[in-house]
Structure 1
């Protein structure tokens, strides 16, 4: 493993391990090293499911882990893991597959640090041979080790492979998904604004795998439901050829798209304004959210430069952001 010069959690400069803030949030203040004592052979990993034209996450191995004696270790048989480790996937047809852990880590950090989107706690760890892997802390258990009730949107919609075919999690539109939120969340207005921001972020950062299973509701101690923190965020366009949106129905009904969309095939701010109105985002809040996303954010470039992506993929990541930002700003 190369000597670290930035925190492998928050990407803060001047750290050769996790920074104090990252240590507190990711490891409850425990001093944990980023170096693992074991290796992972992606080439010999069993494939859980075949890749399709949209999915990157579907071919990623997930390893359960805990913290023991200041180290991240695999969860013993029969134990309850508190972390998930995601190595680079074995599927060789993915472009730059070795960059996927750093891609997901960067995208999650941008979501939280730049756009203030609540995300699962995350960072990078490094196998014994120096290969990076993405690590995320599970958020479906409370401090007393009780399982928190959580349902993803495919479950809320009663969609399974048996009812809607192999691509069931890609069916419907984001307007349909918003209707599920409204139906299942009593105080839905604030949560709808969060969902609106999630969808814009996924478009701006080319996450073509933002399907129904990547949005979830979580039960609070009071029995209400709220949106779970964002997870599985990455720029999939670097690794696969995909569409603007993961869901086959896109944002809104075809007849509601703007002239810009009709002409170019890509949405602009006006389309997200229509989407926001149709799902019930308050006008003032909608403008505030969109203004944040259409403004070029220098910190996106700074975080990308400090990330663990290699130099070529850093350039690709920044170009992708600029291209999507220009699409979002287009008005003719």
Structure 2
């Protein structure tokens, strides 16, 4: 953004104005005296696409594809930090366009699309999305924005915001803090704290089973529906990070002291501390494991090589065994 706006790193207002017109939720930051404008569609997802990378640069700012995000201060060496994401308006409506960095993290887009689909079979609410491919064979994931209802913007807050933390603290939170704070906020907003906590447990368990080491504080969110009540948002940024991290990527946040080697009793006992009925949590764990096991045979569709595919299948089965025995 500094390069794109031709400013300095300490000119925070210019940088904020460059990104503030289309932020998550119902907050906008625009220059004084200007009226908020609706964005014109940038492209038609159903039409042939010459270059997704060129499109991304046009909507995300100059030189955006050349920035090494891993080198930015405060950014951790996690896979999700490497994915390029930008809001974009299409002929279908508002969306997030996600692209993998060139020549790094193979099949990242296909990986996320696959495990988002599996999540839906495991009982998670997932935003509409589909993979688009340009004329050069580059794939992108187009995710429909759930903080938009036509032209209306819906309020949304993640766990860092709810707890008054800067984004750089997203890996320094605890899962139990996330569950308690978001559930309590949902209840104050007219929703059900118990239902919210149970949905967050489902998201946490699913991420553990698929080996998603990127479930940090900004990937847990709640939002206000068009009817005014608060609830947990659809799940997002779900993928298996293990193939890119030498099959040794622990959970981003601990859950009562553990970020790896969970057991069924650990999940059940930890969830009980949030006043969740044991039977309900058992049903969540069993639903997740059953859904992942049913999909494991199709993991080859992600497009990894045969060795990686076989290891991923074995990894998923091992995680399911951990939580069912």
Which range, TM-score by smaller chain? 0.7 to 0.9
CA separation of 1:277 and 1:298: change in aligned 2, threshold 3 A: closer
After superposing on structure 2, the runs of 4+ consecutive aligned residues of structure 1 that deviate more than 6 Å are: 41-44
In the alignment, is residue 304 of structure 1 matched against residue 316 of structure 2? no
> Gaps spanning 5+ residues in structure 1: where?
1-30, 73-80
Q: Which residue of 1 aligns with 2:23?
A: none
Q: How far apart, in 2, do the equivalents of 1:313 and 1:50 lie?
A: 24
Q: How far apart, in 2, do the equivalents of 1:229 and 1:55 lie?
A: 22
In the alignment, is residue 141 of structure 1 matched against residue 153 of structure 2? no
Can you list the C-alpha shifts for 1:42-84, whole angstroms capped at 9, x where unaligned? Answer: 998222632666521212212443334xxx8xxxxxxxx7122
CA separation of 1:280 and 1:35: change in aligned 2, threshold 3 A: farther
Which of 277, 280, 293 does residue 282 from structure 1 map onto?
277
Secondary structure of the residue aligned to 2:107 is: helix
Can you list the C-alpha shifts for 1:75-97, whole angstroms capped at 9, x where unaligned? Answer: xxxxxx7122211124x6x5xx1
Q: Which residue of 1 aligns with 2:288?
A: 293
Kept in 2, the 8 Å contact 1:208–1:246? The answer is yes
1:283 Cα deviation after fit? 2.0
Kept in 2, the 8 Å contact 1:140–1:147? The answer is yes
Kept in 2, the 8 Å contact 1:106–1:303? The answer is no
CA separation of 1:169 and 1:297: change in aligned 2, threshold 3 A: closer
Q: Which residue of 1 aligns with 2:226?
A: 221
Aligned residues: 267
Give TM-score scaled by structure 1 length: 0.72
1:293 Cα deviation after fit? 3.1
1:240 Cα deviation after fit? 2.0
In the alignment, is residue 158 of structure 1 matched against residue 159 of structure 2? no
Which of 47, 71, 84 does residue 61 from structure 1 map onto?
84
Q: Which residue of 2 aligns with 1:46?
A: 66
Q: How far apart, in 2, do the equivalents of 1:175 and 1:127 lie?
A: 42
Which of 108, 124, 141 does residue 116 from structure 2 map onto?
108
Q: How far apart, in 1, do the equivalents of 2:193 and 2:64 lie?
A: 45
Q: How far apart, in 1, do the equivalents of 2:138 and 2:307 lie?
A: 18
Secondary structure of the residue aligned to 1:170 is: coil
Kept in 2, the 8 Å contact 1:53–1:240? The answer is no
Deviates more, 1:210-219 or 1:234-243: 234-243
Secondary structure of the residue aligned to 2:321 is: helix
1:188 Cα deviation after fit? 1.0
Q: How far apart, in 2, do the equivalents of 1:188 and 1:223 lie?
A: 16
Q: Which residue of 2 aligns with 1:196?
A: 201
Kept in 1, the 8 Å contact 2:133–2:139? The answer is yes
1:307 Cα deviation after fit? 4.0
Q: How far apart, in 1, do the equivalents of 2:310 and 2:77 lie?
A: 22
Q: How far apart, in 1, do the equivalents of 2:278 and 2:87 lie?
A: 43
1:244 Cα deviation after fit? 2.6
Alignment of 1:1-332 (within 5 A): 33=46, 35-40=48-53, 45-47=65-67, 49-50=69-70, 54-68=77-91, 82-90=94-102, 97-112=105-120, 114-143=121-150, 145-160=151-166, 166=168, 168-186=169-187, 187-241=192-246, 243-247=249-253, 250-252=254-256, 254=257, 266-295=261-290, 297-330=292-325
Give TM-score scaled by structure 2 length: 0.73
CA separation of 1:234 and 1:280: change in aligned 2, threshold 3 A: same
CA separation of 1:84 and 1:121: change in aligned 2, threshold 3 A: same
Q: In angstroms, what is the RMSD of aligned CA positions?
A: 2.8
Q: Which residue of 2 aligns with 1:5?
A: none
Kept in 2, the 8 Å contact 1:102–1:309? The answer is no
1:298 Cα deviation after fit? 4.7
